[in-house]
Amino acid sequence: MLQTRSNSNFATRASAIAAGKSERPSACAAGCLFFQQGVCRKTDIAGPMAKVARKQPIYSEGDAATHRYKVMEGAVRISRILSDGHRQVLDIFLPGATFGIEVAETYGATAEAVGDVVLLRCPRACIDNRSEVDHRSEMLAMMSRSLSAAQDHVAMLGHQGAKERVASFIIRLAQGQNRGANQPLDLPVGRQDIADYLGLTIETTCRTLTDLKTSQVISAPSRQQIVIRNLARLEAVAEGGA
């Protein structure tokens, strides 16, 4: 079950964000939860826990970058609205992933909850101080992963066809969930979000998924799950093979 907080408490935390407060949460006195590997037990977390409802913004492009975030439960979508009005999904973060790590003073994109999301929301000043004192290598690794993911995304949009993009997305999803062939993958986002992330129309995305199912590379027990039936073939498609 998702942990809930009262509306008054949520409003208080939101006001603190707007005011730029960056005090270290008392729940982190025994160690920085942001840098812990994986997902912490929710029962161990008090101060920095936050719940964001489905489709609600966590922050918007241009907002003051006062906090860093870690996904505890659910999925977070990072996106921008382009000059032509189209939405480009830049990344999708699953449990254990960190985001909102900005060098600039403002956020460069908008973060939204795909479904109900539980987050660690940590003051930027606290995280930056901890990264300088005790967690320099961990912070550098986070920033390196973020840069690498952005470079991969640009390369995908610039050089891959529709089948390659969809196959690569499924493989990345499997890696993120530590799943192999014949193990169900949970789809954290809908077809439209996948299309917006891959730079495709929803029609092309759905048609490509159908083609992969017809060729028995994947199966789809439900709209929320995909099963890789032939991993070698899927990897070949991702690399541009038949």
Which has more pLDDT, 205 or 154?
205
Q: Which residues are CB-neighbours of 6 under 8 A, at least 6 positions away?
A: none
CA distance 124 to 102: 9
pLDDT at 50: 87
Higher pLDDT, 49 or 52: 52
Average pLDDT over residues 225-231: 95
Q: In 58-188, which residue ranges form alpha helices assigned H by DSSP?
A: 124-133, 136-159, 162-176
pLDDT at 15 over 80: no
Instruction: Calculate the average pLDDT of the chain.
Output: 80
pLDDT of residue 48: 77
Name residue 92's amino acid.
Answer: I
Residue 16's pLDDT is 41
Angle formed at CA 113 by CA 154 and CA 170, multiple of 5 degrees: 45
User: Which domains does the chain possess?
Assistant: 7-135 (2.60.120.10), 160-238 (1.10.10.10)
pLDDT of the residue at 21 = 45
* 148-163 burial: b if 16+ Cβ within 10 Å, else e: eeeeebeebeeebebb
pLDDT at 26 over 60: no
User: CA 220, 75, 131: angle at the middle one, nearest 5?
Assistant: 140
Q: What tens digit of pLDDT does each residue of 61-113 get? A: 999 999 889 898 899 999 999 888 888 999 999 888 889 888 889 999 999 99
Higher pLDDT among residues 177 and 136, named by residue: 177
Tell me what pLDDT residue 28 has.
Answer: 59
Nearest to 13 by CA among 80, 61, 69, 91: 69
Q: How far apart are the first and last CA of the chain?
A: 43
pLDDT given for residue 32 in this prediction: 63
Chain-centroid distance, C-alpha 138 = 18
